[in-house]
Amino acid sequence: MFNPKLRRLPLATAALVACTGAMAGYSSPDGDFTLSGFGTLGAVKTSTDEALYSYPGQGGGADKSVSINPDTKLAVQGTYKFKPTLSGTAQMMTKYDASGQYIPTFEWAFAKWQALPALTVRAGKMGAPFFMVSDFRDVGYANTTVRPVLDVYGQVPFSAVEGADVSYQANLGSTTLTSTFWTGTTKAKYSSALLSMGQPADPVDIKLQGITGLNLIAEMDNGLTLRAGHAQGKLSSHSPSGVSVEAAAKGLVGFGAVTAADAADVVQAMTVDHTDASFSGLGFAYDQNNIVLGGEFTKRKIKNGYIADTKGWYALAGYRFGSVLPYMSISRLSSTPNTSISQLTIGHYAALLANPLTARAATGAAFGSQAILNSQKQTENTASLGVRWDARSGLAVKTQFDRINIPSGSSGLPMVVDPLKAAAPTLAGGTNNAYLNKRKGINVLSVSLDFVF
């Protein structure tokens, strides 16, 4: 059951918007302690009731009915300076999570040591630096668009990492070069957003361990910033749905034509345990003389298991007219499944559907495994038009229209099928085969108030 108090949390966000202009952060008289915050009050609706639009991993989303859940968030951040070279930072944030609730959590909690003027060391829980926009990806006010482009930013479910990083900064003429080596572990709860009796499904636990990463950034005085990054580690995923599917597959060995090899086929497809994973990205940003440009290309590689390999890119352009910034972007996500289940295996389980004693388990083994694999069919293209209006210092109002084109055989990334509203399942394509196997053009309309204080 949802906590009613948590359901009302976005109302507190709205109240904060009203006083944003009067709050510019707090600093203690000695300057050692600072306190600030940010948030977004957003509303989203789409042109379909067959699927839910959300940030990947959220436990629900928007359809034809307006929803405030995908974008609404609130955060407070404090920094205390123990010495001129040593400080600690903590950030608490609440946003719609994998369980479909608003629960405040510590997003950051790290110590920073300025070892040398050009050398910085941090340790603790920090923003996970996978993208061009990482440390402030949740700060809507700092971003041109309503949300980071999901065809790129939706590929990685991790927003924070527990570990350490070392950054070195050097000047080369008018260019500032920053290199950062980082290491650690990160984890997240990820929901397929599939609903059961109106409630989010049990989230998947995902962990990336033994991460090592290197980011290189070049900032030029003409407004151009370039970035290259690469990270790798060992990925594990524990899915309650996957465990149920594996149990069903193993339990039917010896029934009909089902063999141990059939069960092994299903288990291998469902298993992601300390498999090699990597993520690489190239990006640029330009902001000069009212011209705003940006783009990224990213690539995710997973060695084993059901989680797909992906590639994503976007290009963005905008122009400021005083306090108003119209913008447009195009993006693409392509996914390549790492695994499949043989039609022979599916056929062996399907043959048991007519037997009342085995029908339930056979449905889980055949439909369940195929549905999980179908969730990784995420190829799509997106075109976006939007306007940002800086209404006052610390407050921006944005409106954005997205057109998501999803080919036949793909569910898309932010569009997760709602089985309560979409067509009934068929064995040939797994759950919601009718939705999966048709071309889809979906419109998404978003409005947001982004603020800092």
Instruction: Parse the chain into domains and list their residue ranges.
Output: 4-452
pLDDT, one tens digit for every residue, the chain (453 residues) = 333 333 334 433 433 433 333 345 899 999 999 999 999 999 999 999 888 899 988 888 899 999 999 999 999 999 999 999 999 999 999 999 988 889 999 999 999 999 999 999 999 999 999 999 988 899 999 999 999 999 999 999 999 999 999 999 999 999 999 999 999 999 999 886 555 444 556 788 999 999 999 999 999 999 999 999 999 999 999 988 888 889 999 999 999 999 999 999 999 888 899 999 999 999 999 999 999 999 999 999 999 989 999 999 999 999 999 999 999 999 999 999 888 888 889 889 989 988 889 988 988 888 888 888 888 899 999 999 999 999 999 999 999 999 999 999 898 887 666 554 554 344 444 445 677 788 999 999 999 999 999
Tokens 């990482």 correspond to what residue? 134
Tokens 């409106």 correspond to what residue? 399
Residue 104 pLDDT: 95
- Residue (of 213, 266, 209) closest to 236 by Cα position: 209
Residue 2 pLDDT: 33
Tokens 């149920």 correspond to what residue? 244
Q: Using the 8-state DSSP alphabet, how is residue 57 labeled?
A: B
Residue 91 pLDDT: 97
Residue 175 pLDDT: 96
Element (H, E) at 245: helix 240-251
CA 21 → CA 17, 136, 308, 322, 391, distances in Å?
A: 8, 21, 45, 19, 10
Residue 13 pLDDT: 40
Q: For the domain bounded by 4-452, which CATH number is listed?
A: 2.40.160.10
pTM listed for this prediction? 0.88
Residue 191 pLDDT: 83
Residue 241 pLDDT: 83
Residue 194 pLDDT: 55
Alpha-carbon span 137 to 258, nearest angstrom = 48
Residue 453 pLDDT: 93
Residue 372 pLDDT: 83
Residue 367 pLDDT: 80
Residue 430 pLDDT: 43
Other CB atoms within a 10 A radius of the CB of residue 233 amount to 23
The angle that helices 260-270 and 240-251 make with each other, rounded to 10 degrees, is 170
